[in-house]
Structure 1
Amino acid sequence: MTLPSFAAGQLPQGIRSRLIPGVNGLDMHILEAGHELPGRPLIVLLHGFPDLAYGWRFLLPILAASGCHVVAPDLRGYGRTTGWQDAYDTPLAPFSLLNMARDTLALVLALGYRQAATVIGHDIGSPVSAYCALARPDVFRSVVFMSAPFPGPPAFPFDTAQHDGSSAIPNAGMANLAKALGALHPPRKHYQQYLSSEQADADMSDPPQGLHAFLRAFFHVKSGDWPQNDPHVLPGSAAEDIARMPAYYVMDLEKTMPEAVAPFHPSAAEVRACTWLSEAELEVYVEEYGRTGFQGALQAYRVLSDPALNDELRLLSGKTIDVPSLFIGGEKDWGTYATPGALDLMKSRATTRLHGIEMIDGAGHWIQQEQPVRLGERLLDFIKGAGAGP
């Protein structure tokens, strides 16, 4: 397969784009830096939605300059990686969190490594990185969660032999939340509920304002550039509490995502002032999603609400992440607080060697694009402190 080339100025100097065949059934596209010298410690960067490997373009050379080989793949369902099915009714098991962790393990081995110094996951990449560290701590020697705290795997009920042995249906909470949000005035829906629906791909692939304008508004409204982002701990997990989040998290029931973000499209002056996502850089996303559509990327949201695929995670019930870990969020990003209680569970139950919770001033959801220098400094301090780097 011949990859489309990046246009001049779309990739920083020193970053290589290539395809790795035979990675857990995928031909996996990666961007990498620091690849010139063999034997360097490996860092793996896992993006979220609707990002791509391209979202790490500023961070790759920063981490590589420290003496590491840094690799960012297009995840299963995204971008230039192929070998996945994009139909809505395709089996979801290949997109499960455990299989995406297998994708990551297979990539490490395909690159000729037995270990990765760290795996860093952003957004939906955060739980994938967590399951890498849970399942194979011998390979993934440290882990960083970005924007999405990891509360631990679903647990079997404990000490029920003499009590009620029934257990809740995995992720029944999301179904109950959907019902409660729909009963509000006006009725609402959670963005994950929408992204797992059959119509989401068509809505976003062919939005009325055009793909470029939709993606510009989506990236803007979730960034530190949107002045109305003021995230904070929610008072609880009731529908009324969840509905305090912005309209791109808790949407009007009848609206599509393009309709939800359209009112917040930045002005021409704001677009010109956006140093982290130029029009030429945004065009990479427009071209990729214009070519692939969104369904492959959306499969992960269907996985999150699938009872069987959540139930298989109970194999790791009670297991903690015992390698050094770190959480990094953006000061202006609701992702840190979007799941009430997750941050506390990450600290108290899911990890045993958490090095801290770092919040990047001024950054929204797209930390690696908005504040790559500050992010790079914190990551390199963590990797050095964890004893995992060069």
Structure 2
Amino acid sequence: MAESLPPPPLPTAIRSRYVENINGLTMHVLEAGFETSGRPCLLLLHGFPELAYSWRKVMPALAEAGYHVIAPDQRGYGRTTGWDARYDGDLAPFRFSNLVRDALGLVSAFGYAQVEAVIGHDFGSPVAAWCALMRPDVFRAVVMMSAPFGPPPSLPFNTANKPAKPAVEDPVHRDLAALPRPRKHYQWYYSTREADGDMTRAPQGVHDFLRAYYHHKSADWTDNKPYPLKAWSAEELAKLPTYYVMDLDQTMPETVAPVMPSRAEIAANTWLPDSELAYYASEYSRTGFQGGLQWYRCGTSGAFTAELQTWSGRTIDVPSCFIAGQQDWGTYQRAGAFEAMQTKACTRMIGCHLIDGAGHWVQQEQPPEVSRLLLAFLHEAGPAQ
């Protein structure tokens, strides 16, 4: 099946290949800097709704600097196979500890016992962070992009004589629905049975749905002027754009349709021209969105929180860096997370950068500056010992 697909439209410095037997997957991988052996390795992990293809603009610069750059379609995405696309399928393979195992298996398959840095964007950011937290001996530095990483969930503490209070359902969703303008949080919408069909069968088509979605979360949408929220409350969350806190009765395609850019705006778009968007659209039309949506379901269900409590109290102690667009609400969508990453989760954060002129898709919107910041971080973090 994979061999019959047309090749991705890639720069000449990047090749597409498949690597078998990676934690039950056949992984589709984009690779740059493969011409010579012995190079230090960088692992790049994409988010939603993206693919390894989202790194195409920074991979050549990293390879030119002397790195072997590996970017997979992660579990649930693109041309990687071996995952279950059914809503009623097993969620466990999509939990963070198994996504770390996917990353570990991939770099091991390439013959690396240590990776110079793991770099993750959007939902790839917490995967990269968990890689560095769980296996700092392998992932010797980490860059988190567009999604701050909070500390691991805490274990119930000091409960021997004061029993822990029973867990209660988060009231924020009821409160959002009860607002004068009823709302819902996108991550819980993404966890519904209907979300995949809503997007796969978007009334405007997958291509135009993705065009509007990418536009809405980019610096091109001039109303993206983010600022820190004060709390995880319905009143504060309602300040977020509708791509994060949606109108209660709308699907995501309906949410983004009103901000569809004009033909002139699309023609003027240099960071995601239609010829490149077509690759995303063809892949998601073929696979659907459920593989990526399973990641959200793992988080909203709380089913795997107990496992993550195994690392309660642990910090990321390898050199770390955060990069996001200055016009990206993702930095602030959970109150306090941006600050907690810098003060609690990471003990060796040596860079925290918000790039003007970029929204959520920072490595696509501003690739020269992202490449520059990544290389400066890698230089400051120093070579592997």
TM-score (norm 2): 0.97
Match of 1:376 in 2: 371
What's the offset of the Cα at 1:6? 2.6
Q: What is the CA–CA distance in structure 1 between the aligned matches of 2:105 and 2:45, rounded to whole Å? A: 14
Partner of 1:74: 73
Structure 2 Cα separation of the partners of residues 321 and 24 of structure 1: 24
Deviation at 1:296, TM superposition (A): 0.8
8 Å CA contact 1:142–1:388 kept in 2: the answer is no
Deviation at 1:211, TM superposition (A): 1.0
Q: Which segments of 5 or more consecutive residues in structure 2 lack a partner in the other structure? A: none
For the residues of structure 2 that align with 1:118 and 1:271, how far apart are their CA atoms? 34
Equivalent residue in structure 2 for 1:234, among 229, 233, 256: 229
The match for 1:165 is: 164
Q: State the shift of 1:356 in Å.
A: 2.5
Shift of 1:389: 7.0
Tell me which amino acid in the other structure corresponds to 1:242: L
Gaps of 5+ in 1: none
1:313 to 308, 333, 336: 308
> What residue identity is the alignment partner of 1:6?
P
The question of whether the paired residues in 2 share the 8 Å contact of 1:119 and 1:143 is answered with yes
Determine the C-alpha separation between the residues in 2 that align with 1:39 and 1:27. 24
Aligned length: 384
Q: Matched residue of 1:2: which SS?
A: helix
In 2, are the aligned partners of 1:383 and 1:389 still within 8 Å (CA)?
no
Bigger mean CA offset, 226-235 vs 160-169: 160-169
Q: Is the 8 A contact 1:68 1:389 kept in 2?
A: no
What SS is found at the alignment partner of 1:368? helix
Given that residues 126 and 150 in structure 1 are in contact (C-alpha distance below 8 angstroms), is that contact kept between their aligned partners in structure 2? Answer: yes
Q: Which residue of 2 aligns with 1:5?
A: 6
Show CA shifts across 1:230-262 (max 9, x none): 011112221010010111111010100000000
Cα distance in 2 between the residues matched to 1:356 and 1:258: 36
Aligned to 2:107: 108
Query: What is the identity, as a one-letter code, of the residue corresponding to 1:102?
Result: R
Give the residue type in structure 2 aligned to 1:100. L
Deviation digits for residues 173-197 of structure 1, max 9, x if unmatched? 4xx2211111111210001011111
In 1, the alpha carbon distance for the partners of 2:48 and 2:277 equals 14
Distance (whole Å) between structure 2 residues aligned to residue 266 and residue 212 of structure 1:
13
Q: Distance in 2 between matches of 1:162 and 1:345?
A: 29
Question: Where do 1:1-390 residues align within 5 Å?
Answer: 1-2=2-3, 4-6=5-7, 10-166=9-165, 168=167, 172-173=169-170, 176-388=171-383
| Whole-angstrom distance in 2 between the partners of 1:30 and 1:90 | 25
Q: Which amino acid aligns with 2:275?
A: A
**What residue identity is the alignment partner of 1:90?**
G
Larger deviation, residues 301-310 vs 312-321 = 301-310
Residues 278-321 of structure 1 deviation map (CA, whole Å, 9 limit, x = unaligned): 11100001110010001111100000112221221001011111
Q: Is the 8 A contact 2:351 2:377 kept in 1?
A: no
Change (3 A) 1:37 1:167: farther
CA-to-aligned-CA distance 1:128-165 (integer Å, 9 cap, x gap)? 11110111000000001101100111111223333233
Distance 1:98 1:177 in 2: 27
**Cα drift, residue 3 of structure 1:** 5.5
The residue identity in structure 1 corresponding to 2:123 is I
SS at match of 2:44: strand
Q: Which amino acid aligns with 1:151?
A: G
Does the C-alpha gap of structure 1 residues 206 and 272 become closer, same or farther in structure 2, counting only changes over 3 Å?
A: same
State how far apart, in whole Å, the 1-side matches of 2:235 and 2:224 are: 19
1:366, distance to aligned residue in structure 2 (A): 0.4
- The one-letter amino acid paired with 2:226 is P
Q: Secondary structure at the match of 2:147?
A: coil
CA contact (8 A) 2:140 2:384 kept: no
Secondary structure of the 2:3 match is: coil
CA distance in 2: counterparts of 1:3 and 1:380, whole angstroms: 36
The amino acid of 1:66's aligned partner reads A
CA distance in 1, matches of 2:323, 2:4: 33
Structure 1 stretches of at least 4 aligned residues deviating more than 3 Å after TM superposition: 166-169
Scaled by the length of structure 1, the TM-score of the pair is: 0.96
Query: Contact (CA 8 Å) 2:200, 2:289: kept in 1 or not?
Result: yes
Tell me, in whole angstroms, the C-alpha distance in 2 between the residues paired with 1:331 and 1:320.
26
Aligned mates of 1:325, 1:42 — CA distance in 2:
16
Contact 1:220 1:265 in 2 (8 A): yes
Quote how far apart the aligned CAs of 1:388 are: 3.4
Q: How far does the alpha carbon of each residue in 1:17-70 deviate from its partner, in whole angstroms, 9 at most, with x for none?
A: 000000000000010100111110000000000000000000110111100000
Structure 1 SS opposite 2:184: strand
Aligned partner letter, 2:128: S
Identity over the aligned pairs, expressed in percent?
55
Secondary structure of the corresponding residue to residue 164 of structure 1: coil
Query: In the TM superposition, what is the alpha-carbon distance from 1:167 to its structure 2 partner?
Result: 5.7
Deviations 1:317-362 (A, max 9, x none): 1111110001111100000000111111111211110112111111
- For the aligned residues, what is the CA RMSD? 1.3
In 2, the alpha carbon distance for the partners of 1:119 and 1:320 equals 16
